[in-house]
Amino acid sequence: MKTSLFSVFKYYNLGIHCYFSDFSKFFVMSLKKHEEIFPKTLKEFGYGFNEDGKLRKLDPATGEPGEEPFQFVVKDDQDYNQRHYEALGEVGKLMLLSS
């Protein structure tokens, strides 16, 4: 089978393009991860534990935990929602460790 120089270049060029394309996506995603500064307390997130120990959204009128449960989707951005969830989990973990 004969391989032309053009087909070799095309193959490697495509591979390099895919590599840099994937790298740039990763790099942009990494930059996005560091753009947001999430709250440091449960109250700053807008959550609290009710008397039954369930995580609930704070009632804006009273500032106390209401009936509305945790909301995973806070933006139309799956990556942001996941990072928000993980940041909230870190706050919860710190609360447990400090008690």
Burial class (CB in 10 A: 0-12, 13-18, 19+), 55: middle
Indicate whether 12 and 29 sit together in one domain.
yes
| pLDDT given at position 98 | 85
Q: How many domains does the chain have?
A: 2
Q: If pLDDT is split at 50, 70 and 90, which confidence band does 96 have? A: confident
Indicate whether 31 and 46 sit together in one domain.
no
Indicate whether 98 and 53 sit together in one domain.
yes
In the chain, the amino acid numbered 94 is: L
Question: Which neighbouring-strand residues pair with 21?
Answer: none
pTM for the full predicted model: 0.62
In the chain, the amino acid numbered 5 is: L
What percent of the chain is modeled with pLDDT above 70? 65
Q: Is-contact 4 51, C-beta < 8 A? A: no
